[in-house]
């Protein structure tokens, strides 16, 4: 039962995230784009679960889908979008942008398909300790400095966002 | 069907990355540009975690830091957007063309 | 096929972990049915209890003592006209009630009613629950936006700001409780010398840790567990937009806030989501601090006689309810107009008595223990919700945000630091 379910779920989640990604960049209404982005993020969390990364999946749902997207929706509501929906949605250079991005994507896929010898073939065995515990040990052990700097970065971002959105400094 | 290898995940990430880049380059609404940047960051995350399956947990830790930074960047970017919108009443990227208003 | 079904019955893990899809579906359906029944009875209980607190009677007409009122309400809501405001964004207007209900129901996948009675047990159980309940904020924001009217917009912005602020306090309190799972020492201040930090985020393991440490986490490190529990109890009331934090949906303030423009079935979905959300966060509180499905004193008062005494509690509860119902039957007016209602009430009393008798059978008695204790603790929390609504005045919105950020957050951080220090030093 296992392998078939994995294949089905992979194609389902990957298809869902790509279709929602297309909806993000194509919809006129920013609220619809935000919704599509939420669907993409939730599909991503499912893909992380399939890659045996449950903690990052949980972090993605809490922070990204439950935090950042709420922030986006708030700002979309504060900004008057009625007028912008009637304007022209795409740039004048849209064709060049599309071509460039597709060329970039094609380059990526070419590299992956031609050079799979770069990746070692077998995946690591799933260890006995739970994923959360290992991440905790590593985060507070090897990456302690980066952790503290990330908290400083968040503090700076909070202060910056508050100062910029205030009416009078 | 073929078993799902790392390359499958990398192709999905590349597709999301390309979609994000198209969004940043072609859309005129600032909010949607910011959302496309989030798409790009997500593609990078998927790449990191796909590789962490092969090479250890460092990829997942990096992914957590990427999510944290994405939150900080979204907050600051949207703050800038609100400050700008208060002055010029538009969310069109093409109209951000003066250094001082 | 039959083997597939019966092979699970002797297993010691949840159906999700055993990979048994049939039993997982059965559990999901049971959760659905249980939730609906709980919401219906909560509706009735709220109206009656609130009424009695306010020295009035509440619904008395529809059934005996208003017992059929929730059914009448449900019928009314289903038959109401479905109005969509003029400039509303149809897709989002249609989608947001479903989003809110889906996310709240998804939380119940990991709620453990017993050591094997959960749909599944994830390694990241509590993280999953917190994450999915933060998705309800999205549904509320979308609901307010899609209504294209200013009362819902303001209500939804206030409601989501409130929910996001109190999520942080909830998260800190939860982390304090999760820290305590890694201690392995017995008793109120017990910390094992060999505690090697194998804490866990899984809901079933958290309750097992309380069983192993022989103390409910609300009493662990005496004031700290209690303070963390109180912080969570306050934050969970704010998280579910209930009194005294119900400014975003109070009638006198905002004409029902974000669900103003929703009528009929859509409103009943929001209503269902609100009460299920209350049940969900109460389940988190019960699992993390109050020992989940454990009966009182599982280690101290152990032995077969104490087991027997505690196993009589479910039947005794239903017997008590039966007695109360028959006392109510005696007090019904003797007018022939009330004959049908008296019969109905007596019939309800008979059903409750039958359930009580069934719960006294030894074979049923042992199996029902875990579910009963869990349900009783969650029911206490539900009654507390009603009690708060009848007692406390409403917080003004700036006072609400002040409490969330300036009071609960520093106390939460303090409790976290002190718990961590106590875990290492003691």
DSSP assignments along B48-82, one per residue:
HHHHHHHH-THHHHHHHHHHHHHHHHHHHHHHHHH
pLDDT at C90 over 70: yes
Mean pLDDT within C292-315: 85
Q: Which of C127, C200, C202 to mutate to test the interface with A (most CBs of A within 10 A)?
A: C127
| Other Cβ atoms closer than 10 A to C211 | 17
**Closest residue in chain A to residue B58, using alpha carbons only:** A138
**CB of B70 less than 8 A from some CB of A:** yes
**CB of A106 less than 8 A from some CB of C:** no
Mean pLDDT within C98-118: 90
**CB of B38 less than 8 A from some CB of A:** yes
From B85, B33, B41, B84, select the one nearest B63 (Cα to Cα).
B41
**CB of C145 less than 8 A from some CB of A:** yes
pLDDT at A1: 36
**Tens digits of residue pLDDT in C181-207:** 888 777 777 777 665 567 888 888 899
pLDDT at C394: 87
> Which residues of chain C does A54 touch, with a Cβ-Cβ cutoff of 8 Å?
122-124
3-state secondary structure C233-289: HHHHHHHCCCCCCCHHHCHHHHCCHHHCCCCCHHHHHHHHHHHHHHHHHHHHHHHHH
Mean pLDDT within A146-153: 95
pLDDT at C93 over 60: yes
Kindly report the average pLDDT of chain B as a whole number.
89
pLDDT at C276: 94
CA-based end-to-end distance of chain A = 61
Q: Which CATH architecture has domain B6-94?
A: Orthogonal Bundle (1.10)
Mean pLDDT within C236-242: 90
User: Per-residue confidence at C254, pLDDT binned at 50, 70, 90?
Assistant: low
pLDDT at C232: 95
Q: Which of A5, A46, A53, A70 to mutate to test the interface with C (most CBs of C within 10 A)?
A: A70
pLDDT at C383: 94
Choose the weakest-confidence range: A15-19, C114-118, C267-271, C325-329.
Answer: C114-118
User: Per-residue confidence at B66, pLDDT binned at 50, 70, 90?
Assistant: very high
Kindly report the average pLDDT of chain A as a whole number.
86
**Closest residue in chain A to residue C90, using alpha carbons only:** A32
The CA angle A160-A164-A166, to the nearest 5 degrees, is 120
Residue with tokens 């409790």: C415
pLDDT at C152 over 80: yes
pLDDT at C235: 94
CB C240 within 8 A of CB C274: yes
**Tens digits of residue pLDDT in C285-294:** 999 999 888 8
Q: Which of B2, B5, B24, B28 to mutate to test the interface with A (most CBs of A within 10 A)?
A: B28
pLDDT at C196: 59
**CB of C31 less than 8 A from some CB of A:** no
Is the Cβ pair A33, B35 closer than 8 Å?
yes
Give domain limits for chain B: 6-94
CB-CB: which of B31, B42, B70 is closest to A30? B31
Long-range contacts (CB closer than 8 Å, 24 or more residues apart) made by C50-55: C50/C386, C50/C389, C50/C390, C53/C387, C53/C390, C53/C391, C54/C390
Could you tell me the two tokens for C107? 């939380």
> Which residues of chain B does A136 touch, with a Cβ-Cβ cutoff of 8 Å?
none
Is the Cβ pair B39, A153 closer than 8 Å?
no
pLDDT at C309: 87
User: Per-residue confidence at A111, pLDDT binned at 50, 70, 90?
Assistant: confident
Residue C123 backbone zone (phi > 0: left; psi -120 to 50: alpha; other: beta): alpha
Three-state secondary structure call for residue C184:
strand
Chains that touch A (3 or more CB pairs under 8 A): B, C
- Percent of chain B residues topping a pLDDT of 90: 58
> Which residues of chain C does A35 touch, with a Cβ-Cβ cutoff of 8 Å?
92, 95, 142
pLDDT at C195: 56
From C295, A101, A117, select the one nearest B16 (Cα to Cα).
A101
- Looking at CATH, the fold of the domain delimited by A1-83 is given as 1.20.120
Is the Cβ pair A84, B91 closer than 8 Å?
yes
Is the Cβ pair A58, C128 closer than 8 Å?
yes
The CA distance from C276 to C269, in Å, is 10
Is the Cβ pair B68, A154 closer than 8 Å?
yes
Mean pLDDT within C329-357: 90
Cα C363 vs. chain centroid, distance in angstroms? 28
User: Per-residue confidence at A2, pLDDT binned at 50, 70, 90?
Assistant: very low
pLDDT at B100: 67
Q: Do chains C and A touch (3 or more CB pairs under 8 A)?
A: yes
**Tens digits of residue pLDDT in B50-63:** 988 888 889 999 99
- Percent of chain A residues topping a pLDDT of 90: 47
| Min Cα–Cα distance to chain B from A12, Å | 12
Kindly report the average pLDDT of chain C as a whole number.
87
The CA distance from C218 to C235, in Å, is 16
Mean pLDDT within A48-58: 91
pLDDT at A137: 87
**CB of A35 less than 8 A from some CB of C:** yes
| Min Cα–Cα distance to chain A from C2, Å | 18
Could you tell me the two tokens for C42? 């909560």
Residues 6+ apart with CB under 8 A from C192: C183, C184, C185, C186
Side-chain-facing half-sphere of B99: CA atoms under 13 Å: 0
CB C143 within 8 A of CB C249: no
Is the Cβ pair C157, A31 closer than 8 Å?
no
pLDDT at B15 over 60: yes
Chains that touch B (3 or more CB pairs under 8 A): A
pLDDT at B7 over 70: yes
> Which residues of chain B does A101 touch, with a Cβ-Cβ cutoff of 8 Å?
18-19, 21-22, 25
The total number of residues shown for chain B amounts to: 101
Give domain limits for chain A: 1-83, 128-169
Is the Cβ pair A25, B23 closer than 8 Å?
yes
User: Per-residue confidence at B5, pLDDT binned at 50, 70, 90?
Assistant: confident
- Percent of chain C residues topping a pLDDT of 70: 97
Is the Cβ pair C160, A54 closer than 8 Å?
no
A positions 61-100 inside 8 Å of C (CB)? 61-62, 65-67, 69-70, 73-74, 77
Residue C303 backbone zone (phi > 0: left; psi -120 to 50: alpha; other: beta): left
pLDDT at C50 over 50: yes
| Other Cβ atoms closer than 10 A to C333 | 9
Residue with tokens 């200013």: C150
Choose the weakest-confidence range: A76-90, A92-106, C139-153.
Answer: A76-90
**CB of B1 less than 8 A from some CB of A:** yes
CB-CB: which of C127, C131, C160 is closest to A70? C160
pLDDT at A11: 93
Phi, psi dihedrals of residue C189, rounded to the nearest 5°: -115, 20
């Amino acid at each position: 039962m296992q392998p078939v379910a994995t294949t089905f779920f992979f194609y389902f989640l990957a298809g869902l995230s790509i279709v929602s990604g297309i909806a993000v960049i194509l919809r006129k209404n920013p609220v619809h784009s935000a919704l599509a982005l939420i669907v993409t993020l939730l599909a991503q969390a499912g893909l992380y679960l399939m890659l045996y990364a449950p903690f990052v999946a949980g972090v993605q749902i809490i922070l990204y889908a439950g935090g950042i997207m709420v922030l986006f929706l708030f700002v979309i509501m504060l900004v008057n979008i009625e007028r912008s929906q009637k304007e022209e949605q795409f740039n004048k250079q849209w064709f060049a942008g599309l071509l460039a991005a597709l060329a970039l994507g094609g380059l990526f896929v070419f590299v992956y398909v031609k050079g799979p010898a770069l990746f070692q073939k077998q995946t690591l065995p799933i260890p006995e300790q739970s994923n959360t515990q290992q991440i905790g040990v590593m985060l507070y052990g090897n990456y302690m400095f980066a952790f503290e700097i990330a908290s400083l970065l968040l503090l700076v971002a909070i202060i910056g966002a508050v100062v910029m959105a205030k009416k009078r400094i | 069907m073929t078993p799902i290898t790392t390359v499958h995940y990398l192709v999905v990430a590349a597709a999301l990355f390309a979609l994000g880049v198209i969004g940043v380059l072609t859309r005129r609404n600032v909010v949607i540009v910011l959302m496309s940047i989030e798409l790009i960051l997500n593609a990078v995350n998927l790449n990191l975690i796909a590789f962490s399956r092969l090479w250890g947990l460092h990829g997942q830790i990096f992914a957590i830091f990427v999510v944290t930074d994405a939150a900080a960047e979204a907050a600051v970017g949207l703050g800038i957007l609100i400050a700008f919108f208060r002055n010029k009443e538009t969310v069109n990227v093409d109209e951000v063309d003066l250094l001082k208003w | 096929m039959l083997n597939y079904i019966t092979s699970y019955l002797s297993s010691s893990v949840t159906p999700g972990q055993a990979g048994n899809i049939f039993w997982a579906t059965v559990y999901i359906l049971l959760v659905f049915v249980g939730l609906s029944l709980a919401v219906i009875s909560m509706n009735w209980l709220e109206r009656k209890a609130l009424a009695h607190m306010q020295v009035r009677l509440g619904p008395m007409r529809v059934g005996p003592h208003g017992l059929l009122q929730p059914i009448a309400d449900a019928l009314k809501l289903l038959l109401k006209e479905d109005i969509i405001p003029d400039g509303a964004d149809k897709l989002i207007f249609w989608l947001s009630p479903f989003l809110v209900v889906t996310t709240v129901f998804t939380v119940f996948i990991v709620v453990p009613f017993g050591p094997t009675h959960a749909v599944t047990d994830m390694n990241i159980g509590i993280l999953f629950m917190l994450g999915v309940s933060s998705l309800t904020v999205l549904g509320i924001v979308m609901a307010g936006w899609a209504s294209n009217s200013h009362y819902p917009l303001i209500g939804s912005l206030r409601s989501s700001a409130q929910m996001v602020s109190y999520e942080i306090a909830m998260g800190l309190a939860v982390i304090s409780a999760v820290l305590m799972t890694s201690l392995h020492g017995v008793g109120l201040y017990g910390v094992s010398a060999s505690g090697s930090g194998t804490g866990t985020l899984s809901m079933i393991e958290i309750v097992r840790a309380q069983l192993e440490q022989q103390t409910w986490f609300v009493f662990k490190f005496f004031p700290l567990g209690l303070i963390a529990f109180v912080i969570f109890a306050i934050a969970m009331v704010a998280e579910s937009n209930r009194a005294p934090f119900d400014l975003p949906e109070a009638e006198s303030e905002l004409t029902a806030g974000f669900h103003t423009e929703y009528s009929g079935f859509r409103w009943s979905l929001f209503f269902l989501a609100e009460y299920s959300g209350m049940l969900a966060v109460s389940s988190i509180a019960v699992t993390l601090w109050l020992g989940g499905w454990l009966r009182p004193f599982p280690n101290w008062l152990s032995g077969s006689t104490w087991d027997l005494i505690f196993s009589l509690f479910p039947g005794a509860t239903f017997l008590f309810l039966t007695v109360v119902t028959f006392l109510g039957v005696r007090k019904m007016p003797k007018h022939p107009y009330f004959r049908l209602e008296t019969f109905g009430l007596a019939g309800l009393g008979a059903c409750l008595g039958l359930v009580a008798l069934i719960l006294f059978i030894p074979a049923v008695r042992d199996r029902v223990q875990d579910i009963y204790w869990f349900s009783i603790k969650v029911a206490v929390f539900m009654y507390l919700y009603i009690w708060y609504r009848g007692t406390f005045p409403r917080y003004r919105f700036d006072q609400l945000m002040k409490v969330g950020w300036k009071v609960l957050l520093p106390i939460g951080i303090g409790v976290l630091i002190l718990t961590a220090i106590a875990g290492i030093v003691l």
